[in-house]
Structure 1
Amino acid sequence: MDLNEIMIFVKVVQAGSFNQAAKLLGMPNSTVSAKVSALEKRLGVTLLHRTTRKLQITQAGQAFFNRSLTALQELQGAEAEVTLNQGEPQGILRLTAPSVFGSTLLPEVISQYLEKYPKITVDLIFADRVVDLISEGVDLAIRAGELQDSTLIAKKIGVSYFAPFASAAYLKKNGTPIHPKDLRSHKCLQFAPLGRDKWELVNKNKNKISVSLVGKVIADDLHVIKDFALNGEGIALLPTFLCEMETKKNRLVRILPEWRSDVRNIHFVYPPQKFPAPKFQAFMDIALDVLKNRLKETEL
């Protein structure tokens, strides 16, 4: 039995292609293909049908994959259990998060993590798409909002919400809104994923209001929207954690303080594992400690 062949076969099925599996494993594509062919020869059965367009697993291949995946997970769990308290965390931690979290919330966490555990390397994927943790070999994700994949484990970090902000210069020139309906007469900077035509706001009494907007700037990047607000180009609906530094320096002012967007939960998300690796658990411990105040649930 060659466990390396089995591990490579499992990764090919998870990744959906030989090319993607080779990238994840850091191997030449030819090596991955040869290992799977050797496994099929040893077993005397076809596990995968290869075509130019797609990879199709056979019935025998599916059965072998299911049992092999369980066995590999047990081996990984056994290794983690044995090494859980043996020395400091080390190795590579692969982490993914939306770009706005990556540039705003994670630098402090990662700095503390690497300072405490110098044998760790952090491999970051900042992406606004939903990264497939299994097929892309990612240890841990940070995600906002409702979670779709029920097979993953989720641990709540905190919450986030959007609120309206503007520069002092803009407000001095154009006046300060005192009710959401006043936004209709202001230049509003719109973050496209939240809606191009309106903002949905809620107050402490759970009253909701939908405000139709006529904006001059629409973008799908929150940092761009914030920069326009800082330059006095209008009012922006932004995550409060993204504006902490600017509000402390009075470069941005939160307006309509009794109104905000709906609250969104922020979670750590990761594949099920009986014994989390030390590098994994150590990162979550530091992140939870650093982020608890930045993503805490507050009343309006």
Structure 2
Amino acid sequence: MDSIFGYIDDVYLFCKVVEEGSVLRAAASLGLPQSTVSRRITSLESKLGLRLLEKRGRELAPTELGQMAFEQLSSGIEQVEIGLNNITEKTDLVAGHVRLAVPHSFYHAFIAPVVEEYLKSYPKVHVDLALNHDQAKPKTDRELLITFDTSEMDELIARPLFTAKHGFFASKEYLSSNPIIDDLERLKRADWLTIDDSREIVVYQQGKEVDTINLKPRLIVNDIQALVDSVGRGLGVASLPLRHAASNSNLIHILPEYYRSDRQAFLVYKDRKYQPKAVKAWWKLY
């Protein structure tokens, strides 16, 4: 090969897999998707034209050439890792630029206070905040995405941030002027308002799936506060985060024994071990 460019990350992953004895454990220790680790190891074997790992029972073990490669390369990788850690530990200054993409629909509801705390805590950092209707994948090591939807992001790291618990709510006015909602069948027939174009809600009771509500929403609005306000004005029923519904005294929690699954929010970033300090500082806020 003419250059080591493009090999270092893959060699590092290979050494981790050998040390851990499996792709699964290596991926867990590095915070990477298992599919990413497998793909990168396969890519390294293809580049070298060598078989580096083989199955032995339930474990992965290096082949004869793989063991030779591990012995030749692991000490060098360790020295690089130690050197980088020594460099980054020379300063506690958190500075630079970070680009944060957040869906417009829940910035004010969930993220705004965190961004404000971050800016106050790290005055030398400049944040480029993008409120999007369509989520854009991070393309550089200084880009972050906060989202509930991590589909088609196997090549990225998705770090859990918080969960949003939901319930079903309507206003006092709506409930007083419409048929009583005292079971799931009547809830299904209500006038539904939603935040996206999803057409069904899976309903749970005591941790078990019990039913599905097929929606024909009267209103779709891609902002959580606008949705809460619409429900509060008596336009219909919606599944709302409990923390938002609690702030509106006009809302009534319908059939509180039923709920949809919690929604998990993630901080998504590129699969790099060494993140800039301005990016790593986000982890401390959650």
TM band (smaller chain): 0.5 to 0.7
**Change in CA separation of 1:270 and 1:216 when aligned onto 2, cut-off 3 Å:** closer
> 1:186 and 1:124, CA in 2 relative to 1: closer, same or farther beyond 3 A?
same
Q: Which amino acid aligns with 2:260?
A: S
Q: TM-score, normalised by structure 2?
A: 0.62
Query: Which of these residues, 212, 217, 220, is aligned with residue 219 of structure 2?
Result: 217
Opposite residue 147 of structure 2, the aligned amino acid is R
SS at match of 2:158: strand
Contact 1:191 1:222 in 2 (8 A): yes
Alignment correspondent of 2:168: 164
Which of 237, 240, 244 in structure 1 is aligned with 2:239? 237
Bigger shift: 227-236 or 268-277? 268-277
Distance 1:152 1:199 in 2: 28
Residues 105, 222 of structure 2: 8 Å contact kept: no
Aligned partner of 1:94 in structure 2 is: 99
Q: Establish whether residue 188 from structure 1 lines up as the match of residue 188 from structure 2.
A: no
| Shift in alpha-carbon separation, 1:85–1:167, aligned structure 2, 3 A | farther
Which moves more between the two structures, 158-167 or 106-115? Answer: 158-167
Q: Which segments of 5 or more consecutive residues in structure 1 lack a partner in the other structure?
A: 1-62, 64-74, 289-300
Question: Deviation per CA, 1:247-295, whole angstroms, max 9, x where unpaired?
Answer: xxx1322212122222332211111223222211222211x1xxxxxxx
Match of 2:209 among 202, 207, 210: 207
Amino acid at match of 1:208: V
1:108: which partner in 2? 113
The code of the aligned residue for 1:280 comes to V
Q: Distance in 1 between matches of 2:104 and 2:237?
A: 22
Instruction: Give how far 1:229 is off.
Output: 0.6
The residue correspondences of 1:51-200 to structure 2 (distance < 5 A) are: 82-134=87-139, 138-174=142-178, 176-195=180-199, 198-200=200-202
Runs of 5+ consecutive residues of structure 2 not aligned to the other structure: 1-46, 48-79
Q: Does 1:278 align with 2:283?
A: no
Tell me how far apart the structure 1 counterparts of residues 214 and 271 of structure 2 sit (CA, whole Å).
Answer: 43
Structure 1, 171-180 or 151-160: larger mean CA deviation? 171-180
Deviation (angstroms), 1:220:
4.4
How big is the shift at 1:86?
A: 0.9
Q: What is the deviation of 1:185? A: 4.2
The CA distance in 2 between the partners of 1:125 and 1:251, in whole Å, is: 33
Classify 1:270/1:98 alpha carbon distance in 2 versus 1 (closer, same or farther; 3 Å). same
Counterpart residue number, 1:12: none
**2:171 alignment partner AA:** S
How far does residue 205 in structure 1 lie from its aligned partner after superposition? 4.6
CA-based RMSD of the aligned residues comes to 3.0
TM-score by length of 1: 0.59
After superposition, the Cα gap between the structure-2 partners of 1:131 and 1:145, relative to the gap in structure 1 and judged at 3 Å, is closer
Q: Provide the C-alpha distance between the structure 2 equivalents of 1:228 and 1:103, rounded to a whole number of angstroms.
A: 16
> Secondary structure of 2:155's partner?
coil
Equivalent residue for 2:44? none
Q: Is the contact between residue 81 and residue 275 of structure 1 (CA under 8 Å) also seen in structure 2? A: no
Q: 1:231 to 1:90 in 2, by over 3 A?
A: same
Are the equivalent residues in 1 in contact too, given 2:142–2:276 (CA < 8 A)?
no
